[in-house]
Amino acid sequence: MAKIPVPGQPVRGSKSGVPVMALLDLLGRNWAMGIIWHLNGAPKNFRQLQAYCETVSPTTLNTRLKELRHSGLVIQTPKGYELTALGTELLTLLQPLGKWAKHWAKQFNDHV
């Protein structure tokens, strides 16, 4: 398993571990963003997340959940996995990016 990105320590793209690079390293891992996206709203158990993420292997899902929990973005409760306050704040910041990506995709496809 790859080392969990930590601000202030070397990460992909940054020897100094600048916080934004540590975050981008974490979010750039397979299914990390998908898990955060699908935890919007109600808690989800492992099987529900696996169904939402379609092609994710159980090993990868388990690894990502561990990384996201370690990073303070996700917690495991008796109801399932859910975003922490910090994870919810991150999702709120990512939602405009998702909207922009749809706009970009349309512009891109119109010019290709």
Residue 112 has pLDDT above 80, yes or no: no
pLDDT per residue over 17-48, tens digit each? 899 999 999 999 999 999 999 999 899 999 99
Mean of the pLDDT values across residues 69-96?
96
3-state secondary structure of 81: strand
Give whole-number Cα distances, 101 to 7, 39, 64, in Å: 26, 20, 23
pTM here is 0.88
R_g of the chain computed on alpha carbons: 15
In a domain, 102, yes or no: yes
Q: How much is the pLDDT for 41?
A: 86
How does residue 76 score in pLDDT terms, banded at 50, 70 and 90? very high
User: Are 77 and 65 a contacting pair, CB within 8 Å?
Assistant: no
Could you tell me if 65 and 43 are in contact, meaning their C-beta atoms sit under 8 angstroms apart? Answer: no
| Residue pair 50/65 in contact by the 8 Å Cβ criterion | no
pLDDT on residue 12: 87
Question: For the chain, how many residues are written?
Answer: 112
CATH number of the structural domain spanning residue 72: 1.10.10.10
Domains contained in the chain, number = 1
Is residue 99, in this structure, part of any structural domain at all?
yes
Does residue 10 lie within any of the structural domains? no
97 part of a folded domain: yes
Q: Identify the domain containing residue 79 by its residue range.
A: 31-111
Structural domain contains residue 14: no
Residue 89 in any domain: the answer is yes
CA 74 to chain centre: 9
